[in-house]
Each structure stands twice: as structure tokens, then as C-alpha cells.
Structure 1
């Protein structure tokens, strides 16, 4: 499973694990590549999609707003200022991202 290390922002593959000593009742997330363990509060799992990739929501916001603006130029915008129109496109992108985050 992919997660972002909160302290560094680095994205790592981790798996849930328990302490190798059965007397220790501690759980953690193990990163095999770095040979390091992390507590749950050290990691952010919030932006991981169903493929296990970390979603860069700011990048998605930009791409969605850009696509909306590009598509909309094919239709007339009578009586609407360009700044107002672009602002509306970004708002639509934000609403779509909020819905996508719920999935």
C-alpha cells in the first residue's frame, strides 16, 4: 500500500505489521525498501487511489480546470467576463475533486 510520509512528503510502499516479539503489543507500518517502520500517525493514506497510486489533487485540479476551459471555448460566452468564467471553471473542478475524494 502506498502512503506519504508526513514529515518528508516522500511516497513509500508499506505493509501493516506487528512487532516480531510477541510480548510487545505494538503495530506499525513496515517499508521494505527503506527498511524502516512507521507508526500510523507518521503516514498519510488519504490520497491513495484504488490502484495504490498517490493522487496529486492539486495537479488533478489544474488538469480538470484546464480541460473545462479548453472545451468551453468551443461555445459562445456572451456577456461573461473571462476572469469570471475561468473562476467558475476552477469552482467546477473543485466540486468534481470533492466528489472524487469520496470514492
Structure 2
């Protein structure tokens, strides 16, 4: 699990949590109150996020291009929208 050390802002990997309110980070013990845990990032449903991003991108394309009922155009926009979503997810994951 990842955490941010409050005093320095450094992101670290937590190696262990203990009942006495301490966490082991890089061989050093911290009080849990000295850390901000970043577990939300690891629980993101990336498939759901991909869907949401692609949906937003497709809406933007359709509005910007003033699309009519040409199904071939929709197919191209869907492919482009998925590429946009994949690129955004890649950046969000820091890759």
C-alpha cells in the first residue's frame, strides 16, 4: 500500500502495519498519524474509468464535428475515443 509522509510529501510503499499504530516504511517505523494513505488509487476500477473517459471523449467528438447519422463515422469516433481513454489511463497510472 502506498502512503505519503506528511512531513516531507514523499510517496512511499508501506511494508507493514502494526496494532500499536505504527507502520514500517523502508526499514523505518512511522506513527500512522504521520502518514496519508493513498489506497484509493489502487482501488480504482480501470475498466469503469475507461468507459467513462471514452464516453466523454465520444460526446466531445460528436459535438465538435456536428455528426449526422453516418454509422461509419460513429465507428471511427468510437475507436478514437477508446484511444483517448487508454492514453489518459496510461498517464494517470504514471506510465
TM-score by length of 1: 0.47
Please list every run of at least 4 consecutive aligned residues from structure 1 whose deviation after the TM superposition is greater than 4 angstroms. 77-80
Correspondence for 1:52 among 14, 19, 39: 39
Where does the alignment leave 5 or more consecutive residues of structure 2 unmatched? 3-13, 20-36
Q: Distance in 2 between matches of 1:57 and 1:84?
A: 23
* Cα gap change, 1:31 to 1:95, in 2 (>3 Å): farther
* Larger helix proportion of the pair: 2
The one-character-per-residue Cα deviations of 1:40-59 (angstroms, maximum 9, x if unpaired) are xxxxxxxxxx7421111111
* Cα gap change, 1:87 to 1:51, in 2 (>3 Å): same
Compute the RMSD of aligned alpha carbons.
2.9
Q: Distance in 1 between matches of 2:87 and 2:45?
A: 16
Where does the alignment leave 5 or more consecutive residues of structure 1 unmatched? 3-14, 18-29, 33-49
TM-score by length of 2: 0.50
Aligned residues: 62
